[in-house]
A and B are shown apart, each in its own frame.
Chain A
Amino acid sequence: MENLIINNLTKGYFKKKALNNFSYSFKKGIVYGLIGPNGSGKTTLMKTIYGLVKPTKGTLSMNHSKISYKTRKNIAFMPTEDIFMPNLMVSDVLKFYNNTFEDFSLEKAHQILENMKLPLDEKIETFSTGMKMRLKVTLCLSRNVEFYMFDEPLNGIDVISKDLIKNTIISMTTENSTIVISSHALNEMELILEQVLFLNEGSLIRDINLEEFRGAENKSLESLYWEVYNV
Chain B
Amino acid sequence: MFNLIKFEMLKLKKMFSILGVLFVLMQVFIIYKTSILTTIDINVMGNGILLIFISYVIFIFSSLLAFSKDINSTDRSVVFMTPYSGFTIVSSKFLTIIISGTTLVLTTFLWFIANAYYVDPRIEFRITEYMQNGAFISAIKILILSFVSIGSFFALVFLSIIITKTFLSKLKFKTLIVIIVMSILSKIFNLIFWDNLSDISSLNVGIYIIIASITMFMLWISGWLIDNKTDF
Contact = CB atoms under 8 A, between A and B. Distances in A.
Interface residues of B, number: 26
Interface stretch (A24-32, A64-72, A114-122, A183-191): A64-72
B78 A54 contact: no
Contact of A81 (B77, B86, B230): B77
A142 B35 CA distance: 59
Interface string B67-104: 00000001111101111111000000000000000000
Interface string A5-26: 0000000011000000000000
**Chain B interface SS verdict (over half):** helix
B11 interface: yes
B201 interface: no
Interface in A77-131: 77, 79, 81-85, 87-88, 92-93, 96, 99-101
B41 interface: no
B105 to A, nearest CB: 25
Contacts, number: 64
B12 to A, nearest CB: 11
A68 B230 CA distance: 12
A47 B232 contact: yes
B170 to A, nearest CB: 6
A101 B78 CA distance: 13
B81 A82 contact: no
B96 to A, nearest CB: 14
B10 A92 contact: yes
8 contacts: A50-B81, A69-B84, A79-B81, A83-B81, A85-B10, A87-B10, A100-B84, A101-B82
Interface of A: 13-14, 47, 50, 52-54, 68-73, 77, 79, 81-85, 87-88, 92-93, 96, 99-101
